Structure 1
Amino acid sequence: MLKLGWDLVWTIINLIVLYLLMKKFLIGPVLGIMEKRKALIESQLDNAKTVQEKAEELKGQYEQALSSAKEESVQIIEDAKADARQMSEGIVKNANLQAAKIIETAKNTAEQERENAMQGAKAEIAGLAMEAAKKLLLDGSSENGNRMLYDEFLAKAGDAHDTDLH
């Protein structure tokens, strides 16, 4: 059987003292270090979460700025196209107005030249009529002479008319 002696009591006391010393100097500091390490890891995880949230927020801002820049570039291109369209329409209108003015001036010039030609023809006819009247008065008036003057007048008027046309 078991014998309870002093050796057993001293062994139990030594074990209890050893346990208390290990708890105070070994287990306590190791647990303290482990708690500090756990707290450090948790704070680093919290910091990592904060940094990740900031990064996500910045990413959202950058994406929004990028989409805004794309929209702005599309708007700038549309505005430039509209301005170019307006400028081209203005240039075409201006060219049409100038062409119309040139055509109108050409018509007026042609009309003026026609009027001048008509005035010249009228003056020529009047001169021929005056010459015929003068010959009539100088030669006297006879049926045969009148017919000859009339034919001569028509011949000269026809020649004058033909030269004006060419």
Structure 2
Amino acid sequence: MNLFVLGAAAAHDEPLVNLGDIIFQLVIFIILLALLRKYAFGPLMGIMKQREEHIASEINAAEQNHQEAKKLAEEQREFLKKSRAEAAELIENARKMGEEQKENIIQAAREEANRLKESAKQEIVQEKEQAVAALREQVASLSVLVASKVIEKELSLEDQEKLINEYIQEVGEGR
């Protein structure tokens, strides 16, 4: 078919390309480009620009959130570190107070034991003195009794020994 058109064009002596059509198509193409630029590419570029700005702001917001999260995580680590240090300090203080209370209790118990010991010693001394006084009274009364019996009787040496042994036995039973 092209050969026929070429042959027919050659037969009529017409140029193969029509310059008017080319100029008309070029003007239409330029008008179409201008219209596309104004009504299609302009809004499309505006939308693309808005989308680009939106994505950039989302990236910035994400970076800010990431930085804030890192900051909060660091603050939490510091808070946890401080809390652990405070807990360790509280435990140490409680241990020291426990040791001090233990020492105070031991000291108080020792003082009480010493006080009881001294009190017991004083009681023993008093009891001893009372026992000695009672023994003296008994010895004195026995001596008077022995003397009165000796006076009443004149005894032989054997009877005196027997009498002394009886009194000593009575004293031992009276104790």
Q: Same fold (TM over 0.5)?
A: yes
Give the aligned partner of residue 111 of structure 2: 97
Give the aligned partner of residue 163 of structure 2: 152
Q: Unmatched 5+ residue regions in structure 1?
A: none
Q: Unmatched 5+ residue regions in structure 2?
A: 1-14
Residue 42, structure 1, aligned to residue 35, structure 2: no
SS in 2 for 1:3: coil
CA RMSD of aligned residues (A): 2.6
- Normalising by structure 2, report the TM-score: 0.75
Q: Which moved more, 1:36-45 or 1:98-107?
A: 98-107
Q: Residues 135 and 124 (structure 1 numbering): CA distance in 2 closer, same or farther, change over 3 Å?
A: same
Q: Deviations over 1:66-109 (max 9, x none)?
A: 22112212221222222223223322322232223223222322
SS in 1 for 2:17: coil
- Normalising by structure 1, report the TM-score: 0.79
> Percent identity among equivalent residues?
23
Equivalent pairs counted in the alignment come to 161
- From 77, 82, 101, the equivalent of 1:87 is 101
Give the aligned partner of residue 114 of structure 1: 128
Higher Rg of the two aligned structures: 2
Q: Which moved more, 1:147-156 or 1:53-62?
A: 147-156
- How far apart, CA to CA, are the structure 1 residues paired with 2:139 and 2:19? 174
Kindly indicate whether structure 1 or structure 2 has the higher relative contact order, using CA contacts under 8 Å at least 6 residues apart. 1
